[in-house]
Amino acid sequence: MEIGRSIVLLCALVACPIAYIALLNRMRRNGISRPPVVPYFFQFGTLGGWFLAMALSPGGLAAICAIFLWTFGLISVLTSSIYLITQPERSIYHRVAIWGGLFIYPALIGFGFILAFLSSL
């Protein structure tokens, strides 16, 4: 089980930041005007946070991470997506950031709550 925890921790601390930087470089190469840097920061940050919570579980620190991600993570992702809706730019990167923040992340949180409820039965 320790090897699985190490892989998840590696995803949280290495893979998510590298993927975020690679996405920023790709947007820069494609010449995206006003790229959605902050919304993707929140999305990759919350994904890395969930990986970190999985690597730390079971424990109190994992619970604190999960509570933080359920509240502030959701608020930051939704707020950044709503901000993007008000902007005139609509590249594929902007649309993916909007859809990821408005629908995908809240759906994943809801799915997590359903799984937690079903596992407690």
Q: CA 101 to CA 80: how far, in whole Å?
A: 7
User: Which two tokens mark 38?
Assistant: 């902050």
Q: In which residue ranges of the chain is pLDDT below 70? A: 1
Which range of residues forms the domain containing residue 10? 2-120
User: Which two tokens mark 82?
Assistant: 């709503």
Spatial contact of 22 and 14, defined as CB atoms under 8 Å apart = no
Count of structural domains within the chain:
1
pTM of the model: 0.87
Per-residue pLDDT at 1: 58
Per-residue pLDDT at 28: 95
